[in-house]
Structure 1
Amino acid sequence: MQKDSQPESQPKPIVNEDSTVLQSNLFGASTVIKEPADPLEMPFPPLVRTNPLTEQSSLAACAIPYRQELMLRGKSNYTVTCFLSDLKMFSDFAGAETPVGRISKEQLTDWLMKLKFGVPGRIPAPKTMARRVTFLKNFFSWLTREGVLREDPSLSLTLERPLPPLPELLFADEVQRLLRAASADPRCHCLVYLILYAGLKKEEVMGLKMGHIDLSNAKAPLVTIHFAASTGKQHRERRLTLPEEFTAIFKRYQDKYHPTDEVFACTDRNLNYILARAVQAAGIKKRVTLQLLRDTFAVQCLRDGEPPDALREKLGLSDEAWLESREKYRRLAFPK
């Protein structure tokens, strides 16, 4: 009895600069993607090989080119995911095969009103609605900028950004109490100091490598924040100067914990625990998070006369993120 013949395995194709692969988009169709010659040297996502978009192109046809546009602009994975989800929702409302040239401002308004009031008992949060308006303005301004549309139907949409509740910042004496409590553990002292005096995000703290800390000038220690090349950010690093005393703080941390590659070889949850212990030891009753320390840094910079644009660069915020943060920091720094 002969064994069933097994299908021969197909050899994996060799990918070169002329190779193409198929990638499914949100609407179930396939799009041909051109691979870069050397993905490690390409800071941007692969180029999309599709038919040029026109006024007669459907909303579905825009999904993959729009995704690449967002990635090339350095938008975060969260923003890309949210905006593509919003595009899918709008396409379900207007029709995935509807030509983009037939979309009117009235349709955009009808969609927003349906989202806001169409389902009883399921009113979306104001921040979610604001994001969806931001998506519409981003998507249709891109089509207009690329010459696909002659007029932007989202141009006159009003973006009402909700004002989130302001955090309760630490007072100056509480900051000093926290630093004193943190100094009992060099790791905690280093963590708290980096955020209070450089305004790092938690994700940036987690990504710090030993090579990102420069103590060659003990009087002006530097920390460099690197962005992954895949983010497509125009400036892929920012350098921040810390007060002179950080040099001694970091050296004490090295002497006790002996970090080799990562500055903090632990999880973000561990960092939260480290901070919580110092807050408790300092006798502070407020809810203190790593983000609150970053907010404290930003507000202090404004009070010290730092220009808003310079602060934005220090914080490493995108245009969208700065629009949301600028008013918050202004209200905290200069309450009426």
Structure 2
Amino acid sequence: MSTRHPDSGTPEIGPEQLQVLEDYLGYLLYQRGRSENTVRAYESDLRSLLGYLAGRSAAGLDQVRIEHLRGWLGHLQDAGLGRTSMARKISAAKNFFAWTLREKLLDEDPALRLQAPKKERRLPQVLQPSQVERLLRDIKIPQPVARAESGGAADLPSEREAAVAVRNQVIGEILYASGLRISELVTLDVADVDFERRALRVLGKGNKERMVPFGLPAQRALQLWLDHARPVLATDASDRALLLGVRGGRLNVRQARDVIAKALHKLGDTAASGPHALRHTVATHLLDGGADLRAVQEFLGHSSLATTQLYTHVSVDRLRQSYRQAHPRA
């Protein structure tokens, strides 16, 4: 993990600060079990902070004061940074300086009184059941491609293209059936599929393992994939990975996200733009169907019930139904 590439135009961070940053990132990765994506985000935020401090005569961490940190936030705000991004950077700074205090690298925490802006509470984009049906129907259709030898005319899909279409169907079915995060989906191995119990063994945030159920449509798609389509794409690089890319290696987050993003774009009647929309959708549909809030929390792998409660605000239909049933003057 490199921290030796300062942003263009940013004052160079001193070697002592770089070493502290390197140690902290190692702590996040190896002791706290944070994902590589999370650690990279922390590195970016903290490099921004340390670069700013280096240009304000506060390169030494023991010289940093709350005024320097507020100046950094003002600099970010002037650059047009959004409220959510600001809150993330403040969180990164507070966690970093709290760690330096615990490690006795500092005598006091300059970020202790640093306040994060209130996050905007946005309701997630949720698909209607009819939209989900269309998405899952269209995502499994192989796309014919133009071939040079046929003069540019569209041929029938090849065996590999048909296999990719089955894989895409599995991506859509699992995301909607089980509400997985996209990072959880791509880390699944073949052995994580329990057909007998119709469940997936999922390793979520903080390395917490949970069993998540899936339905008959997802089971059929998985069986078709494992029995017929996966062997078409599999190579020596496939190892135990459940989902594969076109070259046979484990499917990565970007590739899986592109599959869903394209499918959502093709729908044409939704503002939803990424795979998290399916996670939002399944949570809302479960609650609409009467599922217990804590059961949905466990299903999604949320550490806090407050995160799950957001979905109770999504469905106006569910609110109206409860109102009609419970209110004496409805």
Which TM-score tier does this pair reach, normalised by the shorter chain? 0.5 to 0.7
Cα gap change, 1:234 to 1:133, in 2 (>3 Å): same
Asked if residue 212 in structure 1 is aligned to residue 169 in structure 2, the reply is no
Whether contact under 8 Å (2:202, 2:211) holds in the other structure is yes
- TM-score norm. by structure 1 comes to 0.62
Residue in structure 1 matched with residue 128 of structure 2 by the alignment: 171
Residue in structure 2 matched with residue 115 of structure 1 by the alignment: 76
For the residues of structure 2 that align with 1:240 and 1:125, how far apart are their CA atoms?
Answer: 35
- Displacement of 1:146: 3.5
Whether contact under 8 Å (2:139, 2:168) holds in the other structure is yes
Residue in structure 1 matched with residue 64 of structure 2 by the alignment: 103
Aligned residue pairs total 268
- TM-score norm. by structure 2 comes to 0.63
Residue in structure 2 matched with residue 298 of structure 1 by the alignment: 283
Residue in structure 2 matched with residue 222 of structure 1 by the alignment: 199
Unaligned runs of 5+ in 1: 1-22, 30-57
Residue in structure 2 matched with residue 64 of structure 1 by the alignment: 22
1:158-213 Cα offsets, whole Å, 9 max, x none, are 21244275453211233344445567775454332211111123333333332221
SS of 1:205's partner is helix
Cα gap change, 1:305 to 1:81, in 2 (>3 Å): same
Cα gap change, 1:257 to 1:134, in 2 (>3 Å): same
For the residues of structure 1 that align with 2:96 and 2:241, how far apart are their CA atoms?
Answer: 38
Asked if residue 240 in structure 1 is aligned to residue 212 in structure 2, the reply is yes
Q: For 1:1-336, list aligned pairs within 5 A.
A: 27=13, 29=15, 59-71=17-29, 72-95=31-54, 98-117=59-78, 122-163=79-120, 166-179=123-136, 187-215=167-195, 217=196, 220-226=197-203, 233-235=206-208, 237-244=209-216, 246-259=218-231, 261-266=240-245, 269=255, 272-273=258-259, 276=262, 285-287=269-271, 289-303=274-288, 304-307=290-293, 311=296, 314-316=299-301, 329=311, 331-332=313-314
- Displacement of 1:262: 3.7
Larger Rg: 1
- Displacement of 1:84: 2.7
For the residues of structure 1 that align with 2:218 and 2:103, how far apart are their CA atoms?
Answer: 48
Residue in structure 1 matched with residue 325 of structure 2 by the alignment: none
For the residues of structure 1 that align with 2:19 and 2:34, how far apart are their CA atoms?
Answer: 21
Whether contact under 8 Å (2:126, 2:284) holds in the other structure is no
Cα gap change, 1:103 to 1:312, in 2 (>3 Å): farther
Residue in structure 1 matched with residue 323 of structure 2 by the alignment: none
Whether contact under 8 Å (1:186, 1:256) holds in the other structure is no
Q: Identify the structure with the greater helix proportion.
A: 2
Cα gap change, 1:187 to 1:141, in 2 (>3 Å): same
**Matching residue's letter, 2:35:** S
298-307 vs 127-136, which deviates more?
298-307
